[in-house]
Amino acid sequence: MRLRLLSLIISLVFPLLCAAQEVVGIRGSVSDSKTGEPLAGAFVAAYKSSKVQGYSMTGEDGTFHVKLSGVSAPDTLVVTLMGYASRKVAVTDLSKPLTIKLIPKKAEIKASKITSSVIEENGDTTKYSAAAFSDGNERNIGDLLAKLPGLSVTESGGVKVDGQSVSKFYVEGMDLMGARYGTVVKNLTPDKISSVEVYRRHQPVRALSGLVATDKSAVNIILKESSRGTWLFSGGAALGAPRFPLFNARAMFSRFSSSSQNLYLLKGNNIGGDILQELREQEYFGRASGRAYVLRESLEPDFATPLTPTNSPLSLPKEYWYANTSGVASLNSLRKLKSGMLVRTTLNAAAERYSEQTASREEIIFPQGDVLTISESTEVLDKKLFLNGSAELENNNDKRFFSDRLEFSGQLRDNDMDISREEPASERRSLPSFKVSNNLSSIIRLSDKKALDIGSDTKFFRNEGKADFSFGQSAFRQVYDISRLDSRNTARFDARAGRQVFHVTARLNVAYTLLESSLSGLDLEAVPTYSRNGILHLAPGATVSTDRRIGKSRVSLSLPASLNLVSTEGVNMIYPLVSPSVSASGPLAGKLDYTAILRYSLTRSSDESLSRAAVARSYRAMAVPDSLMRSGTLGGDLFLKYSDNVSLFYATLSSGYDRMVTDKTSSAFYHDRFSVSSFVPAVCAHEILNLNGNIKKFFGLRALVLEARAGTTLSTYESLLQGTRTGFKDRTFMAGLTLRSNPWDWISAEVKADGFRLVSSFAERNRTDRLSCDASLALRPWKKVSLITDSYLSWYTLAGKKTSNPPLVSAEAVWKLAKCSLYLRCMNVFDSDVLTTDAVSAYQSFHSSRQLLGRRILAGVRMSL
């Protein structure tokens, strides 16, 4: 009976179970038609006569299962996914899984009304709409960035936010160029840009996020949708005369997507465009900062030696005076291997031929009142070949950061200088250099409150400088050959306890310098002319630092200290170095922020100061390095910033004070033929006090931008001149005003005026004034035609004697076509051939006349595709 009952229940329930298991639906998978990769997140909807019957989203493996509610079977499936063209598929057989391939297609987002404001603030991120600040005459994104509030751009393409170099420069969130991002800033055209994001207090290492605070900023360039992930071309070519052929050519292919980025650039000119500087390393994340004394001409700071010649730059646009023939090639590639992991490779090559003609008069005023006057005219020819390559692997995720960068640089440089004076002189320099370096950093986030950071920066470089000098009948040769192996290793531990974060760093720096200096062909009494030194420098050290939030402010305390052991040629030295500092920053009231720093540092001059042999730096200047100079500096800075993005008013006020006490004083001695500079043991103090202010107000973003700046510096220092201890007091004053206006589309104008005064207390005669004025006017009389003029005026006064320079004017006509624009440019319209400048320093005054590049006409085409 029981069995019968059971079989009856089973026979009744079983068909129901079967019906329940028979789920009507459509199964299948969605993949990329090109790569075959399964696509997750695609929306699959089933329709019967245009009426929706069911839907599904594809899973991570690209599969879907559309469960159908209706009785009638659907006839169409529609698959949609952002980044792909929608696909309609006819459904014929429900039992067979469907394989649907989607074709990648960019969504055409059309410009409709813009609802967001031109400046959006979101925590530490400020986003600027590019179009709102552009007047249409910017050649590169550097010109555009310079117009954004709080941003400035250096001549070499370095970007600064609130006066501080950015630590990261991203395009579409990825850092393609590393520290040599000037190439992007100077070559990417603004028509590709949608907006610019500025990240303040940006921590690029994700594993340190929320643990290690930073005061550095980063900039992210956001491209227009149509420019993302696709190859972009921008370039141009121009020919001109005199002297034929003048040329200016540029071709850049770039592609910025979220998985890979490339930039290939080839450019050259002989019209005064200093393009080599774009390859210079900017102050950047992972690079040692504080290279304050980098020579302007140097692409690689480690290639600078006492023999490196210093050119004298003029403060007017280079197209008037930079007599060059330059070429640059830059190949850059960045690939994302997986989330957070990327490989960056770069190869840069540059070549330049530069010439300069100057007539100068230099007056040196001695304590006794005598005046030494040196008049000479100089012709310089400088030839440079530079090659640099690097490969970097970076893995940046929440738990771990790893980065290794291998880099090499090489440079061949020849510099010839012919000097005409009573007795003619010449200098011939040959300066080959080579460097290879490896920079390793590994950071592990141990827990929410702890992280470990291990880094090693090792480099080897060699500078094999040789210089032949002649003066009258005598000829002599200086060889300065330096090889240096430098390894800096650190291990840092970061830990947070409540609101307090502690950092403890252990450091070991090891350096070996082999220095050979030889001066031949010259007899110097009591001064050695040859030395060969091997200098071993060991510096174990430690840094203890901590930072803490107090109210809205962040207070940091840092105490780095190291013990230095230097050994060379029987001399062993041990000396400590310390540089404690305390800083506080945060909002003071409302929109007013402050930063205050108090610091002390005890430093020594570089190991090269132990050379012990005379080094002829030029045909009439010699240095005798024989000992390390110790200097202790106590200083403080106060920086106030007012920033109001609503009323678009910005103001900064900065002041600083430094007092440096050295155990040795620089001494200059002028002999009949040479000046010899060295350090002599005499304790002296230098003081610098400065105060600078700046206000900027935007009236309607572009209608009128007003910027006013003023500052003063007071410095006092001591040195020995002709064996007499002499004190100097310099006062500088500067004031400037910039007005920029683009009230209507057809007109845009900018006027910039700067006044500068330097008064040196040493002699009444040493006072100089400079007033310079830059003006540019761009008119667009017709929609496709623009007329642009730039002019530059300058006046100098030296000891009451005025010098004014004729106006330097350039004019350009641009005709915009559909895919390109044609232009005709006339540089130096009035054919001014000489610029006269006056300058003073402690006990010297300079009056120089620089040969300018005359009137030239250039016709060309610019393209941006």
Which of 9, 17, 52, 497: binder of another protein (CB under 8 A)? Answer: 52
> Is residue 103 at the binding interface for another protein, with CB under 8 A as the rule?
no
Structure tokens at 699: 């009236």
Closest separation in Å from C-beta 112 to another protein: 4
> Is residue 25 at the binding interface for another protein, with CB under 8 A as the rule?
no
371-396 and 834-841 beta bridge pairing: unpaired
Closest separation in Å from C-beta 781 to another protein: 31
Which of 72, 86, 289, 572: binder of another protein (CB under 8 A)? Answer: 86
* 793: nearest Cα among 808, 778, 781, 782: 808
CB-based contact 499:548 (threshold 8 Å)? yes
Which of 2, 5, 21, 35: binder of another protein (CB under 8 A)? Answer: 35
**H or E element in which residue 90 lies:** strand 87-90
CB-based contact 274:356 (threshold 8 Å)? no
> Which residue, 11 or 647, is less far from another protein as judged by CB?
647
Question: Using CB under 8 A, which of the segments 30-38, 632-640, 652-660, 794-802 binds another protein?
Answer: 30-38
**H or E element in which residue 544 lies:** strand 530-550
Which of 215, 225, 687, 812: binder of another protein (CB under 8 A)? Answer: 225
> Is residue 36 at the binding interface for another protein, with CB under 8 A as the rule?
yes
Q: Which long-range contacts (CB under 8 A, 24 or more apart) does 371-377 make?
A: 372/670, 374/421, 374/620, 375/421, 376/419, 376/420, 376/421, 376/425, 377/419, 377/420, 377/421
Which of 24, 73, 85, 385: binder of another protein (CB under 8 A)? Answer: 85
> Is residue 683 at the binding interface for another protein, with CB under 8 A as the rule?
no
Place of tokens 């005054």: 845
Closest separation in Å from C-beta 33 to another protein: 11
Question: Using CB under 8 A, which of the segments 53-61, 513-521, 669-677, 795-803 binds another protein?
Answer: 53-61
> Which residue, 555 or 734, is less far from another protein as judged by CB?
555
Q: How far apart are CA 802 and CA 795, in angstroms?
A: 7
Which of 122, 368, 473, 647: binder of another protein (CB under 8 A)? Answer: 122
Who contacts 561 (Cβ-Cβ below 8 Å, separation ≥6)? 541, 542, 543, 576, 577, 578
Query: Of 251-280, which residues contact another protein (CB under 8 A)?
Result: 257-260
Structure tokens at 60: 């991570």
What's the half-sphere exposure (Cβ side, CA atoms, 13 Å) at 807? Answer: 12
Amino acid identity at 583: S
Q: How far apart are CA 285 and CA 361, in angstroms?
A: 43
Closest separation in Å from C-beta 86 to another protein: 5
> Is residue 114 at the binding interface for another protein, with CB under 8 A as the rule?
yes
Measured in whole angstroms, how far is the alpha carbon of residue 778 from the centre of its chain?
29
> Is residue 228 at the binding interface for another protein, with CB under 8 A as the rule?
yes
Q: How far apart are CA 700 and CA 426, in angstroms?
A: 57
> Is residue 310 at the binding interface for another protein, with CB under 8 A as the rule?
no
> Is residue 12 at the binding interface for another protein, with CB under 8 A as the rule?
no
Closest separation in Å from C-beta 481 to another protein: 42
Closest separation in Å from C-beta 201 to another protein: 12
Query: What spatial distance separates the first Cα and last Cα of the chain, rounded to whole Å?
Result: 88
* 402: nearest Cα among 410, 393, 413: 393
> Which residue, 391 or 602, is less far from another protein as judged by CB?
391
Closest separation in Å from C-beta 842 to another protein: 49
CB-based contact 842:811 (threshold 8 Å)? no
Closest separation in Å from C-beta 225 to another protein: 5
CA-based angle 92:94:100, to the nearest 5?
Answer: 75
Which of 7, 72, 80, 804: binder of another protein (CB under 8 A)? Answer: 80
Would you give the DSSP letter of residue 627? S
Backbone angles phi, psi at 296, to 5 degrees: -60, -30
Site string for another protein, 312-351 (x = CB under 8 A): -----------------------xxxxx---x--------
CB-based contact 647:698 (threshold 8 Å)? no
Query: Of 586-645, which residues contact another protein (CB under 8 A)?
Result: 590
> Is residue 201 at the binding interface for another protein, with CB under 8 A as the rule?
no
Which of 28, 30, 54, 635: binder of another protein (CB under 8 A)? Answer: 54
Question: Using CB under 8 A, which of the segments 43-51, 478-486, 527-535, 713-721 binds another protein?
Answer: 43-51
Q: Is the dihedral of CA 611, 612, 614, 617 positive or negative?
A: positive
User: How many residues contact another protein, by CB under 8 A?
Assistant: 56
Q: How far apart are CA 453 and CA 211, in angstroms?
A: 12
Q: How far apart are CA 126 and CA 234, in angstroms?
A: 28
Query: Of 382-421, which residues contact another protein (CB under 8 A)?
Result: none
The counts of H helices and E strands in the chain are: 4, 50
Facing residues of 639 across strands?
595, 654
Closest separation in Å from C-beta 51 to another protein: 5
Question: Using CB under 8 A, which of the segments 113-121, 382-390, 503-511, 621-629 binds another protein?
Answer: 113-121
> Is residue 82 at the binding interface for another protein, with CB under 8 A as the rule?
yes
Question: Using CB under 8 A, which of the segments 84-92, 321-329, 359-367, 426-434 binds another protein?
Answer: 84-92
> Which residue, 107 or 565, is less far from another protein as judged by CB?
107
Which of 112, 447, 473, 647: binder of another protein (CB under 8 A)? Answer: 112
> Which residue, 110 or 783, is less far from another protein as judged by CB?
110
> Which residue, 498 or 570, is less far from another protein as judged by CB?
498
* 466: nearest Cα among 439, 510, 431, 501: 431
Number of Cβ within 10 Å of residue 767's Cβ equals 18
Number of Cβ within 10 Å of residue 16's Cβ equals 9
> Is residue 37 at the binding interface for another protein, with CB under 8 A as the rule?
yes
Which of 33, 55, 361, 527: binder of another protein (CB under 8 A)? Answer: 55
Radius of gyration of the chain (CA): 33
Closest separation in Å from C-beta 48 to another protein: 10
Report the interface residues with another protein, using CB under 8 A.
Answer: 32, 34-37, 41, 43, 45, 47, 50-52, 54-55, 57, 78, 80-86, 104, 107-116, 120-123, 125, 172-173, 225, 228-229, 257-260, 335-339, 343, 552, 590
